[in-house]
Structure 1
Amino acid sequence: MKEIIRIGRDLIEAGEDFVVAKVIDTVGSAPRKKGAWLIMTREGKPYGTVGGGKLEAIVEDLCRETFTTKKSGSHDFSLTPADRQGIDMRCGGDAKVSIDYVDHLNPQNFEDELESEATAYIFGAGHVGKEVAKILNYIDFSTVILDDRPEFANRDRFPDVDKIVILDNFQTAFRDVQTDSDSYIIIVTRGHSGDYDVLKQALSQKSAYIGMIGSRKKKATIYKQLLADGFSETDLEKVHAPIGLRIAAETPEEIAISIAAEIIQVKESL
């Protein structure tokens, strides 16, 4: 996704119009899920994919036609071979694909889409935070590192993240952070108190995901404190703790993989 966004922005800066195709909904076993993008240049060169096979070929033809009509719209595809109206793809299912013409002089429809990009807020710039940022950046999340230690939260350690925030302390972790329904909050600070402070604030923020690192004993201790603070069991049910899928992860790299896998699972279920 980040590469597709970069290509779109480069085309706008170069004064070139282009067409964006995006999977906006799927049912059943579609090859690509909601959020898959394809950009086509005026020369007919595609970047990205909406699923491959016959679906992609049809979408690419529609993109080429859009350069002539300059009209945006959505198209429904049945991918079930048995369906007479289908396009004979063995995966089955249905897909809705939007196709938008982007005028480089007025690229508002493209810029609006960028604002809804999934963002991972990683609280903690230690070993686990460093590895989580690498993986989530690789799988096209916008990544933000937040820590109160400049010697850890810096560009030498995090050259590829989108943003680094140096906090005064974890008690005011969200003071300069505006989360939304596409936000993924990952709590991996250096200690129990930092994790508690961030989680206490995170429970009052909009988000798609909240995960906190630690043992089950640590979770029980922090949850007991949060219940005493006035939070309910229902509030705590939305937290993934201990964070990550259970894959017997031990090293920071393995833990990061388990966290990324859990986030992918949550993201695809929304």
Structure 2
Amino acid sequence: MQDVLRQLQEDIQNRRPVAYTALVETRGSTPQKAGARMLVYPDGSQAGTLGGGCVEAEVKRRALRLLDEGNVELLTFQLDDNYGWDDGLICGGRMKMLVDPIRPDEDVDYFRILDESLVAGTPCTEAVIINSESAGGGCEGDRFLVDADGHCLASRGSVTSPPAGLIESLKPILERPRAYVAGGVSFLPFLQRCRLLIVGGGHVGQRVAEMAADVDFDVWVVDDREEYCNLDRFPRAKRLIVGDIDTALSGLEIDHRTFCVIVTRGHNHDEEALYHLAETSASYVGMIGSRRKIKLIFDDLLAEGISREALQRVHAPLGFDIGSQTVPEIAISIVAELIAHRNLGESPSKFRTNNVLGNVE
């Protein structure tokens, strides 16, 4: 999703006409949920997807017309015989789309401010009026960019200030990880970006980094071997740290937005990394390995003074238990757990591997 918004900013900077489309409300069974975004270009090409070929094709058709007219519209699609028969998408649900044509000669400050927030990684919410009567003002299609404290950063539409009811319906940022509708307004949150610190640049670390970047983690990699920790292997990493693990992790910035994955090449390096990370304020710390290896490491760290409470928070073995065998499968299980922890605040118990600390005496 953020790739689409980065592409939008590039299009705006290059003064390229584009129609910004967003799925702002769904009801019932639909092929995509609110928050999906797609860009439509005058030549009919696109970036991103709204889900569902039949609906997407109709949105593109209407978007191309609106690019000529310059009007913002909300489009509603009922997924019945009218849409989806040929494609087998008769879900029975409803999808509401915002279509906003952006032309080179208009004010685009709204998108500039949105891009600045995304680049900075600060949480914000795009609020779209979908029922002006229920919202208590404005017009359908009006949008407001609201920060974590409820302050309006930017607006796009008929009014510059959001209706009072909009702010009243805004949930605290920690309670709005997913899109929701309240008081005639669709709220589309952009969560605070999280950093993923990967200790170990081997095969598993490399594949985890690739997948994590795809789902909007800022990836940092630590390894003591330059031949494993370099831009060729980690082209999308925000930071690469080559050096002794003890030195590299000592004093490294670790906060509540940091997720840590320990996947080094050996028992000693894993233990050294966990020694430095277990008692930090990291949101998530996970370590790969067999249950026997993990128990030995936990025993050693308890003896070295690491608290039992800190070790209880460590996800070890890390990743969801999906019977992983290959490197790609292991990476999928790890990244899935990272996403669940980031988006839901916890990992669903039915997929969790049990922490072995209970066996440590």
| Aligned equivalent of 1:90 | 90
| Aligned equivalent of 1:113 | 118
Q: State whether structure 2 residue 219 is matched by structure 1 residue 214.
A: no
The question of whether the paired residues in 2 share the 8 Å contact of 1:63 and 1:99 is answered with no
| Aligned equivalent of 2:228 | 152
Task: Give 1:129 deviation, angstroms.
Answer: 0.8
Task: Give 1:90 deviation, angstroms.
Answer: 3.1
Please give the alpha-carbon distance, in whole angstroms, between the structure 1 residues aligned to 2:34 and 2:260: 21
Task: Give 1:14 deviation, angstroms.
Answer: 1.3
Please give the alpha-carbon distance, in whole angstroms, between the structure 1 residues aligned to 2:259 and 2:97: 25
Task: Give 1:31 deviation, angstroms.
Answer: 1.9
Q: State whether structure 2 residue 248 is matched by structure 1 residue 243.
A: no
CA RMSD of aligned residues (A): 4.4
| Aligned equivalent of 2:270 | 192
Amino acid at match of 2:332: I
Residue-pair matches, total = 259
Larger RCO (alpha carbons 8 Å, 6+ apart):
1
Larger radius of gyration: 2
Partner of 1:47, secondary structure, is: strand
Amino acid at match of 1:127: H
Q: State whether structure 2 residue 237 is matched by structure 1 residue 232.
A: no
Task: Give 1:134 deviation, angstroms.
Answer: 3.1
Q: State whether structure 2 residue 139 is matched by structure 1 residue 134.
A: no
Task: Give 1:11 deviation, angstroms.
Answer: 1.2
Please give the alpha-carbon distance, in whole angstroms, between the structure 2 residues aligned to 1:70 and 1:173: 53
The question of whether the paired residues in 1 share the 8 Å contact of 2:241 and 2:248 is answered with no
The question of whether the paired residues in 1 share the 8 Å contact of 2:75 and 2:99 is answered with no
Please give the alpha-carbon distance, in whole angstroms, between the structure 1 residues aligned to 2:237 and 2:92: 37
Amino acid at match of 2:196: A
Please give the alpha-carbon distance, in whole angstroms, between the structure 2 residues aligned to 1:169 and 1:193: 10
Deviations 1:128-179 (A, max 9, x none): 2122223334566543322343332112332343432335644663845465
| Aligned equivalent of 1:8 | 8
Partner of 1:240, secondary structure, is: coil
Partner of 2:278, secondary structure, is: helix
Give the structure-1-normalised TM-score: 0.68
Change (3 A) 1:7 1:261: same
Moved more, 157-166 or 56-65: 56-65
The question of whether the paired residues in 2 share the 8 Å contact of 1:21 and 1:99 is answered with yes
The question of whether the paired residues in 2 share the 8 Å contact of 1:29 and 1:92 is answered with yes
Partner of 1:50, secondary structure, is: coil
Change (3 A) 1:128 1:87: same
Task: Give 1:39 deviation, angstroms.
Answer: 1.9
| Aligned equivalent of 2:32 | 32
Please give the alpha-carbon distance, in whole angstroms, between the structure 1 residues aligned to 2:78 and 2:251: 47
Partner of 1:129, secondary structure, is: helix
Change (3 A) 1:42 1:180: farther
| Aligned equivalent of 2:51 | 51
The question of whether the paired residues in 2 share the 8 Å contact of 1:174 and 1:201 is answered with no
The question of whether the paired residues in 1 share the 8 Å contact of 2:270 and 2:287 is answered with no
Identity of aligned residues (%): 31
The question of whether the paired residues in 2 share the 8 Å contact of 1:123 and 1:187 is answered with yes
Please give the alpha-carbon distance, in whole angstroms, between the structure 2 residues aligned to 1:81 and 1:66: 28
Partner of 1:133, secondary structure, is: helix
The question of whether the paired residues in 1 share the 8 Å contact of 2:42 and 2:67 is answered with no
| Aligned equivalent of 1:258 | 333
Structure 1, gaps ≥5 residues long: none
